[in-house]
Amino acid sequence: MSTQTDAADPRFAGLPGRPGKIIAVHLSYASRADQRGRRPAAPSYFFKPSSSVAASGGTIERPTGTELLAFEGEIALVIGRAARRVSVADAWDHVGWVTAANDFGVYDLRAGDKGSNVRSKGGDGFTPIGASLVDARTVDPDALRLRTWVNGALVQDDAASGLIFPLAQFVADLSQHFTLEPGDVILTGTPAGSSVVVPGDVVEVEVVDPATGASSGRLVTTVVEGEGPAYDEAVGSLPVVDDDQRIAAWGSREAAGLPPAAADAASASADAGAEPLTPELRAKLHEAPVASLSSQLRKRGLNNVSIDGVRALPGSGKLVGTARTLRFVPNREDLFKSHGGGQNAQKRAFDAVGEGEVVVIEARGEHGAGTLGDILAIRARARGAAGIVTDGAVRDHDAVAGTGIPVFSSAAHPAVLGRKHVPWDTDLTISCGGATVQPGDIIVGDGDGVIVIPPALAEEVADAALAQEESDAWVAARVAEGHPLEGLFPMNAEWQARYDAEHEAGPA
């Protein structure tokens, strides 16, 4: 338990004393798991330092240089009797009290420590607990209810019955691995509704037993702007923010103020009148040469739809699919350090590409480093991708060509990504080979090059291109018969009438 000094420390006013251990559950509520799109088969945990504890009525600083401080209202279990290798049936007898907690975290700091959350959730004041303790013997653990308010608005409301794993299981599970000692705290996870708070916001968390009315009281924390210096790059990792972290912190793309993802953008485009890439349309585009498609787009006023400077790798074949975009920015050492490692934008793009989609990479026409290699090409093929287009270079050229997936690039180069590029972001409007490409655009490539087709025009352009091919084949046959080009290519009225008549009559 605590020393006399710890017991008098106002940070621990909501607890029996300073806890020896604080163990937090990663993902535990069904509502939160559904929001994240994954449901764990067993609980997983991380530790928080006791120095992160704060009492009700205090403040939490959003660290200087960060933007994604998120709250997580939670039920806290305080161990009353030592537990070592206890069963689920006996585990609750070792819980002395329940109370409210707020498992604050800074998503900007997650990249440095992954699942351990040392930096992102270990800061001073990041674990408010209280306001008061409720005797665990007087409550039904499965009936406990958790509520969280931000600036007076209810944002989380869930019951312990909504947990994937019962509260007692956390105690039993952890006791298999080490002794839970009196005063230790288990933070049991947060339901859906966790989101970002900013300086000036007030967050309140309460745990109640509806049957008895027993309550922890409202645990109140006010967010303030950090006054300390920014993080020092020479000492450790710096804050990193990208759209994936924003979505995770806010709870959704919409809440984070981000544009729709590629699939959503394609759906919205379809709702606005665009044709989806149906199997029938895909078959037409496979048959139609890029040269004819380009001509038809030009007739409709679209002259800047060619991805210039790219050529198919050997064995690539025809490319038809919808765009999934990836953007690289010029290498800067500090940015590559923060964005180049781990599950960076490049890896996320290749892990997320779907069946029939094309990874289109903006590399600024830079040929001095590879933008993908054989492993990523294999990953794209395994995902069912239709192909890859980059206006940069390919590394492992022969191996990439050997994967069998259509790949169009502007060069080959042996150097790795970081020599010239920083993988920056995905699923946004990019420039590739001088053409603007949006997520959901239709990409078609063959030996003549690669073009971008707006989805709303694809059906019309495909039909017109196939009709043009039929007409051109007829003209070619007449030229082969010895007819001069004048009046035939392009056809004058006389030749056009002859073609129309034969075309309507069909094969002899």
Contact between 96 and 136 under an 8 Å Cβ cutoff? The reply is yes
Q: Which pair of tokens denotes residue 338? A: 């923060």
- Residue 418: its pLDDT value, please? 84
Q: Which pair of tokens denotes residue 249? A: 């912190």
Comparing CA positions, the residue from 432, 246, 403 lying closest to residue 324 is 432
Euclidean distance between CA atoms 321 and 277, whole angstroms: 8
SS (H, E, C) 204-264: EEEEECCCCCCECCCEEEEEEECCCCCCCCCCCCCCCCCHHHHHHHHCCCCCCCCCCCHHH
Euclidean distance between CA atoms 236 and 230, whole angstroms: 12
State yes or no: 500 annotated in a binding site: no
Euclidean distance between CA atoms 8 and 18, whole angstroms: 10
Comparing CA positions, the residue from 170, 177, 169 lying closest to residue 84 is 177
- Residue 244: its pLDDT value, please? 80
Beta strands in 26-72 (DSSP E): 45-48, 53-54, 58-62, 69-70
State yes or no: 373 annotated in a binding site: yes
State yes or no: 376 annotated in a binding site: yes
Helix residue spans in 300-432 (DSSP H): 333-339, 345-352, 374-382, 397-401
* pLDDT (tens place) for every residue of the chain, 508 residues total: 444 445 579 999 999 999 999 999 999 999 998 887 778 899 999 999 999 999 999 999 999 888 999 999 999 999 999 999 999 999 999 999 999 999 999 998 987 777 789 999 999 999 999 999 999 999 999 999 999 999 999 999 999 999 999 999 999 999 999 999 999 999 999 999 999 999 999 999 999 999 999 999 999 999 999 887 878 877 887 888 878 888 888 888 788 777 666 555 555 544 444 457 899 999 999 999 999 999 999 999 999 999 999 999 998 989 999 999 999 999 998 888 888 877 788 998 998 898 999 999 999 999 999 999 999 999 999 999 999 999 999 999 999 999 999 999 999 999 988 899 999 999 999 999 999 999 999 999 999 999 999 999 999 999 999 988 888 888 888 889 888 888 877 778 887 888 878 777 665 4
State yes or no: 356 annotated in a binding site: no
State yes or no: 264 annotated in a binding site: no
Q: Which pair of tokens denotes residue 300? A: 């409709």
- Residue 5: its pLDDT value, please? 46
- Residue 21: its pLDDT value, please? 97
Q: Which pair of tokens denotes residue 468? A: 């043009």
Q: Which pair of tokens denotes residue 350? A: 């290749």
Euclidean distance between CA atoms 277 and 261, whole angstroms: 17
- Residue 4: its pLDDT value, please? 42
- Residue 143: its pLDDT value, please? 94
